[in-house]
Amino acid sequence: MDHAAGQKSAASYLYPRLDPFDQRMLAVGEGHSIYVEQCGNPDGAPVVVFHGGPGGGCSPSMRRYFDPDHYRIILFDQRGCGRSRPHASVEENTTWHLVADIELIRRTLGIEHWVVFGGSWGATLALIYAEAHPERVAHLMLRGVFLMTQAELDWFYAGGAGRFWPDLWAKFVDLIPEGERDDLIAAYHNRLFSGDLMTEIRYARSWAGWENTLASIDNEGPAGESPAEYARAFARLENHYFTNRGFLDYDGQILGEIGRLKNVPGTIVQGRYDMICPPSSAYALHKAWPLSKMVFVPRAGHALSEPGISAALVREMDRLKRR
């Protein structure tokens, strides 16, 4: 669940554009190869960026939240999306495959421990990774927290957010016959994996459009359809993960296992008006995690690129480097 709804003023808070000093395709097994890049200072403090979605892919703007003189910045596209291959594939693609991929990246790059930076689904994955490998995490920097619970899925796909955006919700729901509307994730799943490319693209664009339009507090309604290739990967992967409840063992597992982070510090940056991942999840995480710092951004929604969110993340990463 992550999309940047572009705002010009957000860029003023970021570091200048930069190019990678290393780009590679890393074979991770089961027929998958993932795109990995490094930017900034090769000898700097390592920070790894987890993009959202699942299925969103990383972008050049994600390099710019970190001082390139201080940080060794590592970005990668998770299985099935971005420049990773095979594209839009859900075969051998689970949360636990991603956790193993992250560890392979770390070992391949010769890193002992790193800062983990992630928003939305990237925050989910960061928390799951940290609970699995707490000794490898120097600090968690999270944005737009999503705890992968049924209550959060119900908020976004069973009418909660739709009460604030009834016209857009109707557009999302109306593509599904009335008899299937009691479970929209399942109904969309049937069409996103129909085997007919045009059907998959049509429903993928609807799935992506519902989320993208709600990402920023300063949106003016739908901004147009997403490119077909991107929308298909984004929607298929996101739906696949949500259909399988994130491949977790039980609902509420992230908070249930929060004791594993007893020695891991973290910062949570949360838009006060996040319509995709409501702030109650971020606050519950903060209350359960003693070493966390909570930063509410007063006039912001969900998108990484919102000015207030960008400013807060850069500020917190700069504070972290001074420590």
Which residues does the annotation mark as catalytic?
120, 274, 302
The secondary structure element, H or E, covering residue 292 is: strand 292-297
| Three-state DSSP state, 36 | strand
Q: What phi and psi, each to the nearest 5 degrees, are found at residue 236?
A: -65, -45
For residues 199 and 81, give the distance between their C-alpha atoms in angstroms, rounded to a whole number: 19
The secondary structure element, H or E, covering residue 22 is: strand 22-29
For residues 213 and 182, give the distance between their C-alpha atoms in angstroms, rounded to a whole number: 23
Burial of 178 (0-12, 13-18, 19+ CB in 10 A): exposed
Locate 215 and state its tokens. Answer: 């990402």
* Closest of 284, 277, 291, 238 to residue 81, by C-alpha: 238
Locate 167 and state its tokens. Answer: 């016209």
